[in-house]
Amino acid sequence: MINISRKRTWAGWRYIIVAAVLMVLLPLAFVVGWLSDLSQVRPVLAELGHAQQTTAKQSISSPEEPPGNSPQNIHVTWGSSKVVLMWPRVSGASTYTIYRSQGDQGFSHAKTLAQVSQSANLIEFVDLSVKPDRRYTYWIASGNKAGQGPVSQPHSGQTFLSTAAIIRRAEEAATLVQGHLWSRGGMGLFAPVDHVQSAIAYNINKTLYAPMYFSPFYSHSTWLTRRWITWTTDHTRIGAIKTFHHLTLLRGPGASSRLSSLVPGNLSSNDVVVWHAQGHWQHETFSGPVANLPADAVVLNGYGQAWGVSNASGHFVPALHEKTNSRPG
């Protein structure tokens, strides 16, 4: 009897080994093929992604339409030699064109002043080509590469006076006034005695603000001595109206006088204190109502309007905006 079990066992193992090798080689071949295909597809995908990014950038940098809104909430700060314009950024805008006309002329008379490109949330433009005491009107238009959007509403205003012009306003409204303290004794039999005090007064709204205050004693008469007070300016007698914060308000000179009258005004960003001392007119920047101002000074805003004066103690006193016609009580 022939035994063939050993041969059959070896044949079986041979088939098993071949099958195992095939099972390893087939996935490996698949992976190799997939990597080969991927190496060919990857540049195509990269090129496609780059094209998409380029298209997106072009769509951002080349808008289809101009900005739909004009600049809003424009804030204008006026000075004597510059004007500052500030406004919030407009959506979709990359540039802003500033237009300016003289006085209150309309947009048809405006000229292109400048074009700015800013990406900040708050846009600022400084116009350094203005002159003092001039009136201007501004417009602003937003734009991008597709064109210009609508124009803003006009913003008009006037630049401040120069400092020299403000000082000149104070000089032209200043006059020397004298307060005469009279007394006559001996039940009126003696000659009157005149004690004179002088100071510079400023004509504001046709009322003279004199930094002098006399106690009621100087106008109080007794049976033995008569006392009274008179006021003069430029050798002309003027009447007193009332006392006010240790000032005396006097009636301004008549129409024939060459004395200018200051207009009352409010504070600005360019206020100046002007006073006369040691034979010269002097000035300094006014930083607010303080108690240590120069005595007998006037405070003018950037337009040469009077905001107030200082009394003999250097205390600030605001000017009255209404005309003072009342008589002293």
Tell me the pLDDT band of 189, cut-offs 50, 70 and 90: confident
**pLDDT surpasses 50 at 69:** yes
Tell me the torsion sign for CA atoms 11, 15, 21, 25.
positive
Q: What is the mean pLDDT of residues 248-267?
A: 87
**pLDDT surpasses 50 at 14:** yes
Q: What is the mean pLDDT of residues 24-44?
A: 55
For residue range 131-174, what is the model confidence (pLDDT) as tens digits? 999 999 999 999 999 999 999 999 999 999 999 999 999 999 99
For residue range 205-251, what is the model confidence (pLDDT) as tens digits? 999 999 998 888 877 888 888 889 999 998 899 999 999 899 999 99
- What CATH number matches the domain at 75-158, 3.10.50.40, 2.60.40.10, 3.90.470.10, 2.40.360.20? 2.60.40.10
What region, left, alpha or beta, does residue 253 occupy, with left being phi > 0 and alpha being psi -120 to 50 degrees? beta
Tell me the pLDDT band of 62, cut-offs 50, 70 and 90: low
Fold of 163-318: Thrombin, subunit H (2.40.10)
Please give the torsion angle defined by the CA atoms of residues 146, 152, 158 and 159, in that order, rounded to the nearest 10 degrees: -40
**pLDDT surpasses 90 at 310:** yes
317, 308 Cβ separation under 8 angstroms: yes
Sheet strand arrangement including 236-238: 236-238, 226-233, 174-184, 193-204, 207-210, 247-251, 240-244
Domains of the chain, residue spans: 1-53, 75-158, 163-318
The whole-chain average pLDDT of the chain stands at 84
Q: Give pLDDT, residue 20.
A: 63
Nearest alpha-carbon partner for 177 in 273, 265, 241: 241
Tell me the pLDDT band of 328, cut-offs 50, 70 and 90: very low
